[in-house]
Amino acid sequence: MLWVGLALALCPSGALAGLQNDILGAAAPPSEACQSELDAFCNADAGCVATIRKDGFALPLVARFDVGGRATQKQKQWRCYSPSSLSPDLAHFTTGSAYCSRGAELGAVLEECESGAAVLFLNATEAFSATEAAACAQIRTPQLVATASGKVLLFAQCRNAPHDDGGGGGGDDGGLADDFRQTRMVVKESPDGGATWPAPMRFVTERGTGVGVAVYDRNSSRLVLQYQTMPFVDPYRGNTLWQTLSADEGATWSAPRDITAMIAGSCNADPALESVCGGAGSRIQTAGGRLVFSGHNKGSICVWYSDDGGRTYATAASGPFQGNEQSIAQLGDGTLYMNGRGTQFPWRGNRTEYRSADGGATWTAGAPSALTDVECEAAVIAVRAPKALDGVALFFSEPTGPGRVSFRIHCSCDGGRSWPSSIIVNPGAVAAYSSLLEVQREGDAFKLLAVWEQKPTQLAHVFDADWCKCIQ
């Protein structure tokens, strides 16, 4: 049991605004087992126990979701109560001050107990400085890439959002349109596997370009960055797909090349549909060396791939198929696993998964994923894990919700069919689009670097992975 009292740092109380009825489980009494865990936490809180004992109130403590003090002026929350402040049946608060407010900690203990997720409260690192964030209005769509030397690069969009979208709302920027004509791709470097980001961000593309995704090509030792032009406020209208290469780990880039024609015949064959554009999420180089990219319009996905380091591209035989923002990883048996939003499907509320047995040339029809969907981009990566099916575990990151709050990382040991392990980071805090990267591997041990949006900037943190069942 991972108690929040033993976690890295306590989240500010403001980050928990609105959380009590959503995450803390106040609508229904906890199970008997979880109530025991809550009570045990209270009685293990040495400071609270000492205060209650000093004032002569009764012990042991019990956890209750109730008011405290002047009941008419305080909201209900989880507290550690002495029986001295409770009704005779210990069901609810009556009077007095024999309690300790522990809403955040007890809520996290309950979340962990009832969902199986470990809950962490921590101070993550801001990947972009305040000056950089101010220059961009919003820094969106993080994407992490590691080079052969171990350098970690973070690509993102410097977007000029004319209005505040209210933080972690449930839609695409709260329904407010960014001026995509001002967007540019930027890159940041980390010298220590994502722990710090001291170097200033660099602009990679000109204005009116964005939604960039990069893959490191092991065969040519080059970064392959694809992005789109956005001549209109609507990013799906009139865009073109471009590619630029870097042979020096992102220090310099080749002249951009328009590769729209290579995918247009299939991916944009229907003039009635908005143009397919590159999208947020994970793209990959397969074990065999194929570069696999994908994008979407407002209702369809298309996949394109290259076997010659990005000189030419072919498209999936199906052309566009139903779906939205997606991420791709490769399983241990060579199958490509793709997970995207489930908004267009009857199982809306869950995400959608697809599989390819031929390196992205053909794909299965969308099927409901075991993962929930809060209508947000999510990242997926595959890492070597001997205890997992075919030796590969999947990690997946998304907001817990409701809305774009409460960053969460899931783990699957069976190729995405189930996700029994997860951690929740700073419940209630804004968390939107994200990216994951394996770092610091030594033998079978490794850590996970995660970057996620906490608008207007992005947060980064390096996590242990031993909470995943097939890593233990």
Reported as a single tens digit per residue, the pLDDT across 87-126 is 999 998 998 999 998 887 888 788 778 877 888 999 999 9
Give CA angle at 465 (335, 351), nearest 5°: 50
Reported as a single tens digit per residue, the pLDDT across 66-87 is 887 665 556 788 999 999 999 9
How is residue 3 written in tokens? Answer: 């108690």
Of 432, 402, 408, whose CA–CA distance to 422 is shortest? 408
DSSP 407: E
Residue 429 to residues 14, 58, 91, 167, 418: CA-CA distances in angstroms?
9, 36, 31, 9, 26
Q: How far apart are CA 305 and CA 343, in angstroms?
A: 25
Confidence of residue 178 (pLDDT cuts 50, 70, 90): low
Contact 158, 136 (CB under 8 A): yes
DSSP 387: T
Q: How far apart are CA 394 and CA 204, in angstroms?
A: 30
Q: How many CB atoms lie within 10 A of CB 395?
A: 27
How many residues in the chain? 472
Confidence of residue 180 (pLDDT cuts 50, 70, 90): confident
pLDDT higher at 269 or 425 = 425
Give CA angle at 261 (258, 267), nearest 5°: 120
Q: Is the pLDDT score of 162 beyond 70?
A: no
pLDDT higher at 210 or 279 = 210
- Predicted model pTM: 0.82
Q: How far apart are CA 360 and CA 157, in angstroms?
A: 26
What average pLDDT does this structure show over 367-387?
Answer: 95
The answer to which of 203-217, 229-243, 270-284 has the lowest mean pLDDT is 270-284
Q: What percent of the chain has pLDDT over 90?
A: 65
SS3 assignment for 126-143: ECCCHHHHHHHCEEEEEE
Domains delineated in the chain: 4-116 (3.90.640.70), 125-464 (2.120.10.10)
Reported as a single tens digit per residue, the pLDDT across 454-465 is 988 899 999 999
